[in-house]
Amino acid sequence: MHKIAEYKGSTARKYAKEKAPYGMGLGEGLADRAEAIIIYGSSFNDPGDDFTRMVAFDAEGVKLATITLEGY
């Protein structure tokens, strides 16, 4: 697994609200608390199916949500 992207601040909140597969699709209350989002993807040599994983954090670094989608 490797890091694909990282968003912070207003860009993270916008991405948190956007519906999958273009964002996390979080509800307004949760999305408004997002301060950072890190996106990970599987590598070709990882076992199992391909996936994209999005993790949202608040300003204190507390994990708010994790969303995993099949594929890239």
pLDDT tens digits, residue range 6-41? 999 999 999 999 998 889 999 999 999 999 999 999
Res. 44 pLDDT band, cuts 50 70 90: confident
Domain, as residue range, for 35: 2-70
pLDDT, average across residues 47-52: 85
At 57 the pLDDT is: 98
Contacts 24+ apart (CB under 8 A), 8-16: 8/35, 8/36, 9/35, 12/36, 12/37, 12/56, 15/54, 16/56, 16/65
Contacts 24+ apart (CB under 8 A), 17-24: 20/67, 20/69, 21/52, 21/69, 23/54, 24/54, 24/56, 24/65, 24/67
| Contact criterion met (CB below 8 Å) for 48 and 57 | no
Domain count for the chain: 1
